[in-house]
Each structure stands twice: as structure tokens, then as C-alpha cells.
Amino acid sequence: MELRTFDNLIAQRKEEPETKPESEKQEAKSPAANPIKVETRNLDFFYGPLQALFGISMAMPEKSVTALIGPSGCGKSTYLRTLNRMNDIVEGTRIHGEVMVDSEDIYSSQVDVVELRKKVGMVFQKSNPFPKSIFDNIAFGPRIGGQRNKKELEEIVVRSLKQAALWDEVKDRLHSSALAMSGGQQQRLCIARTLATNPEVILMDEPASALDPASTSRIEDLIFELKKNYTIIIVTHNMQQAARVSDFTAFFYQGRLIEFGTTRDLFTTPKEKQTEDYITGRFG
Amino acid sequence: MKGQRHSLAAKASGRRFWESSIEFSLFSCALVSVLTTAAIIFVLFSEAIFGLGGSVAFFQEVSLWHFLTDTKWAPQYGEGEFGILPLLVGTMWVTGIAALIGIPFGLATAVYLSEYASPRTRRIIKPLLEILAGIPTVVYGYFALVFITPLVIEPFAKFFGIPVDTFNAVSAGLVVGIMIIPMVSSLSEDVLRAVPRGLREAGYALGSTRFDVSVKVVIPAALSGILASFLLAISRALGETMAVNIAGGVRPTLTANPFEQICTMTSNIVAMAGSDAPAGSVQYQSIYAVALSLFAITFAMNVLSQFILNKYREVYQ
């Protein structure tokens, strides 16, 4: 597989005809033309009296990768965690505004949070496998969903491990402890575990920040692969990573969405001064 | 130069003396509990088995075989009958019933406090549990005798037509069960809360309900610590004396009916110590044999719980 460095990415895109007007060009690119999968409107978020997000409005098309970037404490992780209501388990949090998945307000009182989280899966910064076997880790989601059929569970486990590019490494030790795996393998296990619940959207909170470069590159390859079937929203500290893996990038600063656009536009011709300062490394 | 070096050396020796005397006094404090334990063990073995203290040891008069297999405990009767089984059965009834109450209620309380309760609720419930743990056991004993037996057990037993003794194993077991709830709940809550937050988040993110997360993620991850808390609580129930003495009675009975009066090993020791058996007699020495048996049981439980706790430390690397 070729390296998808930022330069390659840019070079690739430059081949597109430049004659089309800006709006049409957006249409022509595949992910942007996809229907909107996840959208927030005027989203405010509070930790107790502290406001962490201010009027975030953005829309992410399906089968695309959106990167959320910005300095520490800018609210990008908080934003990500509102998309599967993960913040619900934190005491004293509150939101205003709307979060829509498939045009359905996920904060409406009729929404079943359990079903939502199956549809919108999440991978965390620190890999968090259960202290169980590899098999039981991946079968966890299907099992709590009521799947008892051994044969089907096995199929799900094998399929998920293959999708997460982990099958060849672990096929002989499915019943040994997940904690005996390397850090990078554990993180791919967590991705496989998420895939096992058949999500449509996958949220990733700095999934590679604790990994070595080789493992990081495997995760990035995986994201590229998964994009074909899933809508991926990824928080990252690493701007090269954002440039490599994403179709769209959102720049957050102090709880506000400063700029949101295609990754190419945001990295080559940022509209806002703060974005430019950040991506050129002047702060953050 | 030389003068300076000399004065440094002079101070050093004084400081060394001061430091080593501090170390020695700290060591002596630690030694007190070690020596006490050693002395207790020595006395138990001496009085029960070897007879080193001048008096005849219990097992020099009564064979271990009779002690373990005879079905009657009646030290004051004729030559005396020293079969520990009735006492052991009494202890097992009380401990079993206590475990049956204390473990599920204690664990449920721990799960509630760790996974469900808001910080506000927790702030109210935890001190209440501490108060429960701080009530003197003699108060529990009378509570069982004047409240649990007549107002809870008797109406219930009457409904099924079972006769109930004023002193009985059920009421002693129930009250000891209540006593160990705070112990199970606080030790278990500690290990439940020590489960990394990331594991809970992983559970929720996969579509778990709070109950799924509690039962399928948090409890399994903390299982060995929870088991250790059970064993410690059971040890506590085995050794409980006052409440059991008051509520359960002092009549050794080898019985399958917990509504009868029983006598636990601990109760028996209290009863014998307060009886008119002359010091040095085999009746009096039987105290040490029973105490040694009890010590062996609780020691085994402690070793087991230490073993489980050590295993638990490996769980999350």
C-alpha cells in the first residue's frame, strides 16, 4: 500500500480539473457528495457551570473521515463524546442545541442510548481491552446484544478481527488474555471490538497517540480501509495524521469551531488566521 | 581544614545515634504486635498440645480422634465429653446464615455505591454504614434477642408451624450477617472503584446498560478482590462472640434445625471461661483446644484471602 503522506494527497488532488467552479468541485469529490450522516446544530456543552463548547454547527457526510484538530482543552474530545452521548455518564453535564444522526435528534427523550451507542461506536485514546480473552473481548458487544449462538459469535469474531487487520496475528491464541498483546494490537482489538457491534459511525479519540510509528501507520491504513463502509470521526493531536487520513478537518479553539472544510482547503488555504497559525505550528 | 573535618565527624556520630534510636523505637512498636501474636500462638499450642506451662495439656487427656469425631460436647457432665462437632456445627450455622445475608446485601450495596449512587447519595449512605460498623456487638446481640427473634423469626416460623427457641442460630446468623454488611460493602466498593474508568467507558460505548457494565465488566474485573472481601467477612463471622453468645445461646447441639439453641466455638469459650471449672482441669483446658481449632480455621481463611488478593494484583498489569 502506498504511503498516504500529505504531499501525496495534495498531489493526487491537484490532478482534478481546476476549471470547475468551487461549488461544483465540492460536489464532484466523492465523500462530500454523500448524504449527511452526523450533524450538530448550535451545540453548547457544559460541565457544571463551565461551558466547554459554544454553538458548534457542522455536518459530516457518510463514508468519510472527519478529523477534529486543535490544541489541548479546545473541546474536540468533548465534542466527539457528545456524538454517542458518552458524556451522559459524567456527572453534571448538560447540552443545548441538536445532535443529529441520520436526521434523528439523539438527545430526544425517545432515543434509546444503548441502541445509539451500538450505531455510533467509539475507540478510545488509551486502549481499554477487558481483562478477558481476545475472543470474549470481541464477543462482548454481540453478547450483551443478546447473541447466544456460538457459531454466529465465532463468525462475528473472525470477521471483526479480519476487518481490523488483526486476524493473522491472533488467530492461534483467541482464548488467551487480551492484556498479553502489544499496545498497537490492543488498540486494533478495541477497533475490532467496536466493529463487532455493527456500527455505522465510528468515533476515535486520538486512537494512535500512545502508539509507536509502525503501529500508528497500521491504524491509519485501517482507517482508510474502514472509510469504505463506515463514517469515521477522529480526534487527533497530530496534524500530519489529520492530513493523511481525513477528507474533512475541523479546527477547534477554546470551545469554538474556528474552521471546517475539506482537509485540502483547510491545510492549504485556511480562511482563518487562527487556523493558519495553528497548522503552521505558531501555537498549540 | 583539619578542624572543620573534625567537627563534622563529631556531629555525625551524634546524629547516627539519634537516627538509630528512632529506628529502634519504631521497630519496637512493630515488635509488640508480632510478639503478641507469637505469644498467643505459643500459649494455644502449649495448653492444647504440649503442656509446657505446668498444667496438663488438653490433648494429653483427650485424644484428637475423640475430639474430632465425638458428637457430644458436655465438659461438665461426669468425666466430660469433648466432641467438637456440635460447636463446629453451631459455628457453621451462624457463619453460613451470616454469609447468606451479609455477602449478597454487602455486594449489592457496594455495586450501588460504586456504580449507581450519585455523589450526594454516597455521601449520605457511607457514614451510615460506618455507624453500622461501629455499633458495639453486644448491642447487636440484644437487638437479635429482643427484636429479631420475637418480631421477625417467631411470626415467620409460626406460619410454618416450626417451634423456635428463645436463643437460636437463625437470629444469631441474621444479626452477624447484618454486622458484616458494612465490611463486605466497603472492601468491595474499594475494589470496584479501583476498576479503571476506561473499562466502564468501553462497556458503555459497546451499548451496555449500567447493569451490564456493573455485572459483566466491573464485577468480573474486580472479582478476586471481591472474593477476598467475602473471605475476610466470613472470618469475622467465624470469630464473632458477643452477639452470638447472646442471640444464639450456649447449649451445644448437633442439630440440623437452626431454630434450636446452639453454641458456637466462641460462645463456648466465653461460657467455659465464666464457669466454675478449676484452672488446669481438662474442662478448663478445653478452652485452648477450641481456641486452637478456631484459630486454625480463621488462619486458613486469611491465607486463602491473601492468596486471592495477590492474584488480584496482576489483573490490570
d(CA A225, CA A230): 9
Closest C-alpha to A59, from A263, A265, A261: A261
Sheet harboring A93-101: ordered strands across?
A50-61, A36-47, A93-101, A104-105
Give A208's contacts (C-beta < 8 A, 6+ positions apart).
A187, A215, A216, A219, A220, A236, A238, A241
Give B72's contacts (C-beta < 8 A, 6+ positions apart).
B81, B83, B86, B252, B254
- What pLDDT does B5 receive? 57
d(CA A36, CA A58): 10
Ramachandran region, residue B112 (left: φ > 0; alpha: ψ -120 to 50; beta: rest): alpha
Q: Which residues pair with A201 in a beta bridge?
A: A120, A231
Give A223's contacts (C-beta < 8 A, 6+ positions apart).
A65, A204, A232, A234, A245
**In chain B, which residue's Cα lies nearest the Cα of A113?**
B207
Q: Would you list the domain boundaries of chain B?
A: 2-54, 69-312
For B81, the enclosing helix (H) or strand (E) is: strand B81-82
Angle CA(B140)–CA(B142)–CA(B143) in degrees, nearest 5?
A: 60
A139 CB neighbour count, 10 Å cutoff:
23
Closest C-alpha to B294, from B87, B39, B21: B87
d(CA A11, CA A203): 28
Confidence of residue B312 (pLDDT cuts 50, 70, 90): low
Closest C-alpha to A163, from A127, A128, A190: A190
Class of domain B69-312: mainly alpha
Closest C-alpha to A89, from A77, A79, A81: A81
Q: Would you list the domain boundaries of chain A?
A: 6-13+37-129+198-279
Report pLDDT digits (tens) over B222-259: 988 899 899 999 999 999 999 999 999 999 989 899 99
Closest C-alpha to A241, from A260, A213, A268: A213
Q: Which residue has the cell 450522516?
A: A37
- The pair phi, psi for residue A26, each rounded to 5°, is -60, -45
The yes/no answer on whether domain A6-13+37-129+198-279 falls in CATH 3.40.50.300 is yes
Report pLDDT digits (tens) over A99-146: 999 999 999 989 999 999 999 999 999 999 999 999 999 999 999 998
Report pLDDT digits (tens) over B132-191: 889 999 999 999 999 999 999 999 998 998 899 999 999 999 999 999 999 999 999 999
Confidence of residue A6 (pLDDT cuts 50, 70, 90): very low
Q: Which residues of A touch B315 (CB under 8 A)?
A: 131
d(CA A102, CA B129): 48
- What pLDDT does A261 receive? 93
Q: Could you tell me how many CB contacts below 8 A there are between chain A and chain B?
A: 67
Query: Is residue B217 predicted with pLDDT exceeding 90?
Result: yes
Which residues of A have a CB under 8 Å from any CB of B?
84, 86, 89, 91, 114-115, 117-118, 121-122, 124, 126, 128-132, 140-141, 144-145, 179, 190, 193-194, 197
Report pLDDT digits (tens) over A181-199: 998 999 999 999 999 999 9
Q: Judge: B119–A193 Cβ closer than 8 Å, yes or no.
A: no
